[in-house]
Amino acid sequence: MRAEIWMDVVCPWAYIGKRRVERAVAGTGVPVEIVWRPYRIDPSAPVPAEPLAEALQDPVADEALRACAPDLTPAENRLRVERIAAKEGLGPPWGAKWRASSHDAHRLIALAEPAGVQDAVVEALLRAHFVDALDISDREVLARVVGDVFPAGPALLANGAGEQRVRELLLEGKARGIRTSPTLVVGDRALAGAQPPEVIAEFLAEGGEPRDVPAEVERYRWAESLLEQRDPLGALELLRPLLDEHGRDRSVRLLAARAWYASAQLRRARAALEELVAEQPGDAYAHALLGRTLQRMSEREQAGRYLRLGSAMGTAV
């Protein structure tokens, strides 16, 4: 069985969740391949890191922490997490000291997957952040932390490897509805949060069919989901390989045109839609969207013609 864990290495529940998943898997006796995927709980965390104690004075940070535990103050919540971590054998000591960007750490995790050392890298990074209180946004620190388990990692990081992979995985997670760190995914089922081992074991026991869908179709669906979530630039990021490899596919071109329109790249949207309309004059939606595009470009006379055609064929945008 293959299970994905979407998480952020600066999330204490990710470390707690890792221990609970390990206990659940050991209890089931069923081989489970764990794959780690990125999620960012604090995308604006700086590089270099800032002391966490100072960051917590920021009202925005305080508000975010209260959202995680509405009935507790941030200090009370940290004590609660520390007690739960101790029960899972984590610490002492326990507690992050830095508000650190996890971007490069996620690059290392992604790069470690084909090398077969992903779990060891995740463990090393979580321990560095929460037990050793190191700044995991610092590449020199990262090199020391993963040097024994992934010697090739630091050089790959320095060469820019993993950037595109992590960006795409973050967009994929958003498209698939990942909203919490950690989230355990098997097939099309998801279990959010660091659930107790017995709950995780029950979830795993239910199994899950692997997504038997061509990679291109999945990518298209994720791009469509991002567009529906009003992230047209993210949609275009995922569409780029499809446009390169399947640039004549009508559905791909139309989705790209929708994303260009939604992101105000009107010249690109217009060029694509004019081509689509010329190829298939009966496409009411393409007519209507071309009309809206021309309308936004202040070409009202031409816009009106396409809008009327789209309306006459029964479609409005």
Question: Model pTM?
Answer: 0.91
Question: How confident is the prediction for the chain on average, in pLDDT?
Answer: 92
Q: Are residues 40 and 171 part of one domain?
A: yes
Q: Which H or E run includes 35?
A: strand 33-38
Interval 223-238: pLDDT, tens: 999 999 999 999 999 9
User: What is the rounded average pLDDT of the residues 7-36?
Assistant: 94
pLDDT at site 167: 97
Q: Are residues 152 and 127 part of one domain?
A: yes
Q: Are residues 44 and 190 part of one domain?
A: yes
Q: Which domain CATH number covers 246?
A: 1.25.40.10
Q: What is the total count of domains within the chain?
A: 2
Say if residue 196's pLDDT is above 90: yes
Measured CA to CA, the distance from residue 50 to residue 182 in angstroms comes to 24
User: What interhelical angle do 103-115 and 118-130 show, nearest 10?
Assistant: 150
Domain hosting 44: range is 2-205
Q: Are residues 159 and 32 part of one domain?
A: yes
Interval 60-115: pLDDT, tens: 665 655 555 556 666 777 888 999 999 999 989 999 999 999 999 999 999 999 99
Q: Is residue 317 part of a domain?
A: no
Strand 183-186, strand 2-7: pairing? antiparallel
For residue 193, give the nearest of 202, 180, 175 by alpha carbon.
180
For residue 207, name the pLDDT band (cuts at 50, 70, 90): confident
pLDDT at site 181: 93
